[in-house]
Copies of this chain bind each other. A is one copy, B any other.
Amino acid sequence: MKPAVTYELLHECKQTGARRGIVHTPHGDIQTPVFMPVGTQATVKSVTPEELKEEVKAEIILANTYHLYLRPGHELVKQAGGLHSFMHWNRPILTDSGGFQVFSLGDLRKITEEGVEFKSYLDGSKHFLSPEKVMEIENALGADIIMAFDECAPFPSSYEYTKNSMERTTRWAKRCKDSTKRDDQALFGIIQGGFYKDLRQKSLEDLVQLDFPGYAIGGISVGEPKEEFLDILNYVGPKLPKDKPRYLMGVGTPDYLIEAAMAGIDMCDCVLPTRIARNGTAMTWNGKVVIRNATYEKDFEPLDNECDCYTCKNYTRAYIRHLIKCNEILGIRLLSIHNLRFLTMLMERVKIEIEMDNLKTFRDEFYKKYGYTKE
């Protein structure tokens, strides 16, 4: 049977390892490489689905299994007709597995081979997540792409810890595959192995044997220096199966997105654009704009002259600064729309540069203008 989600390769960049393609899903196609906005609690913070479609031009969004399991509960979402219906979004959705959040709880969780016991941050109640339970939750939520329950080792972690955690992640991936019940959802495996290449290689080989319809790289972009991030990204990225979608988890700065594309990654996600919006920061083609700065007080230009978003078409930096200084929700909304659009626009540009076999040249020029140093 054809899997729910498939990958179609359109072009490989001759200058880099980047690839231009389409991910086909039950809720529509995704042009890749793509940036996926994150809707942790079944809402991309501060924006509507219409804004995501019309202004941001988002093709797929994420939602968070761990948060939705705790609140409002996956059964309620199922009763509402699934996540698409519950949150009024009819394009593709990807749900993470909750692994990252649960393992981030530190002392509040206990790991066994069976799964993870943890206390809810909401009310202290005890919960147990196993691969089978996570599949039950993700099946109920009903996303197009669902992620296997993995253990994301913190940075730094010892070889031994990372090895155990990676091997358990593989065993759990098998249990996820065996227990997921919906063939209209694609279950992706997550490659772990921290910053040890032999462990990454082993994780990759074992997961590829399990033949998932897509693969993710987990456990990088977790606080390590950029060189170590790039080292693992460029080691694992090109080894991922060519006929499947490739997803790098938790990446959302412009430079990391470009590097990911260069390493052959198709999909990335991050809360960054909406999070920094709430702090009053905009990403522009000329670098970051911290809108509270006095320099923008009488700046009647748009945030970014090269941007086509609702915010840039209709508002000045002076007005957005005023809103943010007054803690007005509209200020957060305007910056969120812009930042999300900036990243989708960046990826539109990346797609063109791949098609033109010019991505490395573009990256170098972008870094100069945006203010990032070359690696």
A71 near B330 with CB under 8 A, answer: no
Q: Find out whether the CB atom of B80 lies under 8 angstroms from the CB atom of A326.
A: no
A67 CB to closest chain B CB (Å) equals 8
A-B contacts besides A72-B321, A80-B319, A88-B319, 7 pairs, CB < 8 Å: A46-B333, A48-B330, A71-B322, A72-B297, A72-B325, A87-B319, A88-B314
Residues in chain B near residue A232, CB distance under 8 A: none
**Can you list 25 A-B contacts (CB < 8 A)?**
A41-B323, A41-B326, A41-B328, A42-B319, A43-B323, A43-B326, A43-B330, A45-B328, A45-B330, A46-B329, A47-B330, A48-B333, A71-B322, A72-B318, A76-B298, A79-B298, A80-B300, A80-B316, A80-B319, A86-B316, A86-B319, A88-B315, A88-B319, A329-B329, A333-B333
Contact across chains for B79 and A329 when beta carbons are under 8 A apart: no
Q: Is A332 an interface residue (CB 8 A)?
A: yes
A76 CB contacts on chain B under 8 angstroms: 297-298, 318
Chain B positions within 8 Å of A315 at CB level: 88
Chain B residues with CB under 8 A of A316: 80, 86
- Chain A 321-351 interface residues, beta-carbon cutoff 8 Å to B: 321-323, 325-326, 328-333
Q: Bound complex: CA of A41 vs CA of B330, how far in Å?
A: 11
The 9 closest A-B pairs by CB, nearest first: A46-B329, A72-B322, A41-B326, A43-B330, A88-B314, A43-B328, A329-B329, A86-B319, A80-B300
Contacts of A326 in B (CB 8 A): 41, 43, 71
Tell me, in angstroms, the Cα distance from A309 to B297 when the chains sit together.
Answer: 35
Closest-CB distance, A244 to chain B (whole angstroms): 33
Min CB distance A198 to B, Å, is 42
Q: Which residue of B lies closest to A330 (CB)?
A: B43
